[in-house]
Amino acid sequence: MKTFLPILTILLFVSLISKAQRPPALNSPEVHADKRITFRYFSKKASKVTLSGEFLKTPVSMSKDTAGIWSVTVPPVTPDIYPYSFWVDSVQTADPSNTYIFANERFKRSIVDIPGDKPLVHSLQNVPHGKISYHYYKSATLGTTRPLLVYTPPGFNPNGKTRYPVLYLIHGGSDTEETWTKVGRANLIADNLIAQGKAKPMIIVMPYGNVRPSPMPDFTKDMISDIIPFVEANYPVLKESKGRAIAGFSVGGGQTLNIGLTNPDKFAYICSYAPYTATDEFKKNFTDWSPNIDQLNKQLKLFTVSVGTEDFLYEPVKQNIAMFKEKKLKVEPIIVPGGHTWMNCKQYLASTLQAIFK
Amino acid sequence: MKTFLPILTILLFVSLISKAQRPPALNSPEVHADKRITFRYFSKKASKVTLSGEFLKTPVSMSKDTAGIWSVTVPPVTPDIYPYSFWVDSVQTADPSNTYIFANERFKRSIVDIPGDKPLVHSLQNVPHGKISYHYYKSATLGTTRPLLVYTPPGFNPNGKTRYPVLYLIHGGSDTEETWTKVGRANLIADNLIAQGKAKPMIIVMPYGNVRPSPMPDFTKDMISDIIPFVEANYPVLKESKGRAIAGFSVGGGQTLNIGLTNPDKFAYICSYAPYTATDEFKKNFTDWSPNIDQLNKQLKLFTVSVGTEDFLYEPVKQNIAMFKEKKLKVEPIIVPGGHTWMNCKQYLASTLQAIFK
């Protein structure tokens, strides 16, 4: 039927692709059954392309075929989700063929997911799934409208009689409100642990934690005065401290300590992951800190500080743990292998979800 | 308090940044009050950096300062949201300093939002906001679990008496289920038009439309047999055709025609945006097509086909409109300025939202 001009249209479509200077469709990353991974990148002009990834100790060179496709296949990788990028001559770039980008304000890396022989705690499994809702809330504290993600568990009924406990979960310093789901898979970890009966059905609130230019003090107020009231006005949640937990990673781990330990009447569970604490707010809160320790220990049902032995913050985190212990605060250190990474974050969260609200 | 070692920690943090080879924090894009925009990119080694963007007719060169920061300020840009990227020597890259990435499987471009003097239809305004829920649903058709985004309007009550109409809204060929919200701002357009009383409160379902390797036929079945039943099982929606609309852009515009016109008992509103129709499914459906036109015209309360005069599909879209007219189908062409772009998409959607369910 000539009115459709399919060939002309295809040519026009190809012309659009060419106009937009898109690279050819490549299968990258290709995760093989034996957990080797092949990465591919197209460039006729580059003189050198290397692969950099958190599954590698050092970057590896890629080699070019006659069609201009650079590739490398890396040996089997321990199942997990890893950030990676290409260095094309002097330019760092995400993998154009990979949809999945590490949600971050400062860099654009891709992520690759290597499935385990048995499903991992963060993998998409055949279990009931909760959902993630993207909200806007008004922050009177910060004078603006901000994004907020809310995970509700499978079977959640907003109008039912059940009142859910809430975990407030904060990302790292240059991350966004999406990093805990897009990279940390908080929703799937919760789905899986709830399905196995290892975690209580709960709501997980993931705010945007960055406040420019001075993050910490305003965000504490935003959490207490704006975020928690918004959640409590819109979701059927427990409103006492034993129904609230707070956790966070890196800068968000520091925020967790600041917010949680200065508001122990609000959070019975405080779980800090590799906290970054070299901030004015932390110094203000914990220099010459003299809380009523007996009361605090009574208020806190769980206080954990997690860190990896290869984390660049390992030493200062250990020193903070020692400081809390010296104050006779019941802190539970969780020291594991690994670095300041989102591979570790997923493990920290999985551990937290199994420990809180019980 | 020496146990915190703030200076050492800061040095370690700087060392991490350096280790991760992050670029310095730059303000890019910087949208000025007069709507000029300054773009910045850091590279000491590049010999040439250019800016490419859909607000430009041709790429513009950026110039380097002594610190290795390349920049360019472009003259005032018509308020809208535009994709752009940098070409660093031969490498196309998103803006590392910009959080917002065009959701797409094939390219990684950044987006820049130039606000209007008066709020634009897609801007975040001081009105009640709906929310976007990220679901998984099981597709028996495709044998897998797939993502699905659902916008619910302000004041939505899942257990109330109101049954909402539903718009099924499909992205373009290499886009993802997030492109209509992240780039098309479907949620904010709906929030604004509902607040102004110009659109009915409705649910908008944004599925993932790509099926590899042969998109179209299976997706039609997935929509009818899996997506609609999932939505109707989980949301209080109208279940007759006058409570359902379907719309989509480019490849999704072709899917809209295929799905809608072969299921007129299910959709009373069909709105196709710059449809790409050079597909086997379209050929199969519309070569020697001989529907009962009187019945079809009665079933369809609205059938629009939108396209821009600079769209690379303008001619074939016009020919399809002519074909529908020749069949005596009541098609309403919406011919506007502009190209095959998401700037146009937002206008097409805003027009649709004001026309359906009335």
* Identity of the residue in B91, B106, B158 whose CB atom sits nearest the CB atom of A93: B91
The CATH code of the domain at B24-113 is 2.60.40.10
Mean pLDDT confidence for B166-175: 97
Q: Which of A41, A109, A134, A250 to mutate to test the interface with B (most CBs of B within 10 A)?
A: A134
Distance from C-alpha of B154 to C-alpha of B131, rounded to nearest angstrom? 7
Q: Where do the CATH 2.60.40.10 domains begin and end in chain B? A: 24-113
Chain A residues with beta carbon closer than 8 angstroms to that of B18? none
The type of residue at B314 is Y
- Chain B residue numbers with beta carbons less than 8 Å from the beta carbon of A157 are 159
Q: Residue A6: pLDDT above 50? A: no
Residues in B closer than 8 angstroms to A187, CB to CB, are 134
- To the nearest whole angstrom, how far is the Cα of B7 from the nearest Cα of chain A? 8
- What is the residue-wise DSSP string for B160-220? SS--B-EEEEE--TTB-TTHHHHTT-HHHHHHHHHHTTSS---EEEEE----SS-HHHHHH
Q: What angle do CA B320, B324, B330 make, to 5 degrees?
A: 135
From-to residues of CATH 3.40.50.1820 in chain B: 131-355
Closest chain A CA to residue B59: A20
**Residue B344 scores a pLDDT above 50:** yes
Residue of B nearest to A282 (CA): B4
Nearest-Cα residue of chain A relative to residue B155: A234
Partner-chain contact B4 A286, CB within 8 Å: yes
Confidence of residue A4 (pLDDT cuts 50, 70, 90): very low
Looking at CA atoms only, how far is residue A129 from chain B in angstroms?
Answer: 7
Using CB atoms, pick whichever of A99, A129, A181 lies closest to residue B105.
A99
Residue A25's pLDDT band, with cuts at 50, 70 and 90, is confident
Cα dihedral sign, A136-A137-A142-A147: negative
Rounded distance between C-alpha atoms, residue B202 and residue B356, angstroms = 10
Nearest-CB residue to A129 (from B132, B136, B277): B136
Separation in Å, CA A168 to CA A141, A153, A323, A328: 18, 14, 25, 26
CB contact under 8 A, B312 and A12: yes
Task: Report residue A171: phi and psi, to 5°.
Answer: -80, 180
- Closest residue to A145, CB basis, from B6, B124, B159: B124
Would you give the DSSP letter of residue B29? S
Per cent of chain B over pLDDT 70 is 92
pLDDT in tens, B244-277: 999 999 999 999 999 999 999 999 999 999 999 9
Interface contact flag, B106 A145, Cβ < 8 Å? no
* Contact flag B108-A129 (C-beta cutoff 8 Å): no
Q: What is residue A76's predicted lDDT score, i.e. its pLDDT?
A: 98
Rounded to the nearest angstrom, the gap between the alpha carbon of residue B122 and the centroid of all alpha carbons in its chain is: 12
What is the distance in angstroms between the Cα of B347 and the nearest Cα belonging to chain A? 21
Residues in chain A, total: 358
Q: Where in chain A is the domain with CATH 2.60.40.10?
A: 24-114
The more confident residue out of A214 and A152 is A152
Question: What is the homologous superfamily of the domain A24-114 according to CATH?
Answer: Immunoglobulins (2.60.40.10)
Q: Summarize pLDDT for A193-210 with one digit per residue, the tens.
A: 999 999 999 999 999 999
Q: Do A283 and B1 lie within an 8 Å CB cutoff? A: yes
Query: Is the peptide bond prior to A333 cis by the omega test (within 30 degrees of 0)?
Result: no
Closest CA to B109 of A232, A119, A96, A319: A96
B43/A286 touch (CB, cutoff 8 Å), yes or no:
no
pLDDT tens for A287-319 read 999 999 999 999 999 999 999 999 999 999 999
pLDDT at B215: 56
Name the closest residue on chain B to residue A154, using Cα atoms. Answer: B135
Among A11-20, A42-51, A284-293, B154-163, where is mean pLDDT lowest?
A11-20
Per-residue pLDDT of B175-216, as tens digits, reads 999 999 999 999 999 999 999 999 999 999 999 999 976 656
pLDDT of res. A24: 81
- Is B108 in contact with A94 (CB distance < 8 Å)? yes
Which residues of chain A are within 8 Å of residue B287 when distances are taken between CB atoms? 1, 4
Mean pLDDT of A332-343: 98
Q: Which residues of A touch B135 (CB under 8 A)?
A: 129, 131
List, in sequence order, every residue forming a beta bridge with B69; answer none if it has no partner. B42
* Single-letter code of the amino acid located at A233: A
Residues of chain A contacting B104 with CB distance shorter than 8 Å: 99
Asked whether the beta carbons of residue A106 and residue B283 sit closer than 8 angstroms, the reply is no
In chain A, what residues touch B316 (CB-CB under 8 Å)? 4-5, 8-9, 12
How far does B306 lie from chain A, in Å, by closest CA? 17
DSSP per-residue string spanning A267-335: -SEEEEES----SHHHHHHHTT----HHHHHHH-SEEEEEEETT-TTHHHHHHHHHHHHHTT---EEEE
pLDDT band at A262, cuts 50/70/90? very high
> What rounded mean pLDDT belongs to chain B?
93
Among chain B residues, CA nearest to A3: B319
**Helices and strands (H, E) in chain A, number of each type:** 10, 17
- Spell out the alpha helix ranges (H) of chain B: 6-19, 179-182, 186-195, 215-221, 228-234, 251-261, 280-286, 293-299, 314-326, 342-355
How much is the pLDDT for B17?
42
Choosing among 3.40.640.10, 1.10.3720.10, 3.40.50.300, 3.40.50.1820, the CATH entry for B131-355 is 3.40.50.1820
CB contacts, 8 Å: B323 with chain A: 1, 3-4
pLDDT at B16: 46
CB within 8 Å: A319 and B5: yes
B90 with A15: Cβ contact below 8 A: no
As a whole number of Å, the CA-based R_g of chain A is: 23
Q: How far is B340 from chain A (nearest CA, A)?
A: 9
* pLDDT (0 to 100) of residue B237: 98
* Chain A with chain B: Cβ pairs closer than 8 A: 201
List the single residue in A with minimal CA-CA distance to B129: A136
Q: What is the pLDDT of residues B107-145, one digit of tens each?
A: 899 999 999 999 999 999 999 999 999 999 999 999 999
Distance from CA of B323 to the nearest CA of A (A): 7
Rounded distance, CA A300 to CA B148, Å? 39
Taking CB atoms and an 8 Å cutoff, what residues of chain A touch B275? none
- Measure in Å the smallest separation between the Cα of B98 and chain A Cα atoms: 6
**How far away is chain A from the Cα of B14, in angstroms, using its nearest Cα?**
11
Per-residue pLDDT, A13: 46
Structure tokens at B236: 């209080």
| Interface test mutation site (partner A, options B54, B134, B177, max chain A beta carbons within 10 A) | B134
CB B215 within 8 A of CB B257: no
Burial B67-106 (b: 16+ CB within 10 A, else e): eebbbbebeebebbbbbbbbbbbebbbbbbbbbbbbbbbb
Q: Is the pLDDT of residue A350 over 60?
A: yes
Q: Which of A1, A10, A13 would you mutate first to test chain B, the one with the most B CBs within 10 A?
A: A13
Asked if A13 lies within 8 A of B288 by C-beta distance, the reply is no
C-beta atoms of B315 and A5 within 8 A: yes
- The greatest distance separating any two alpha carbons of chain A, rounded to the nearest whole angstrom, comes to 84
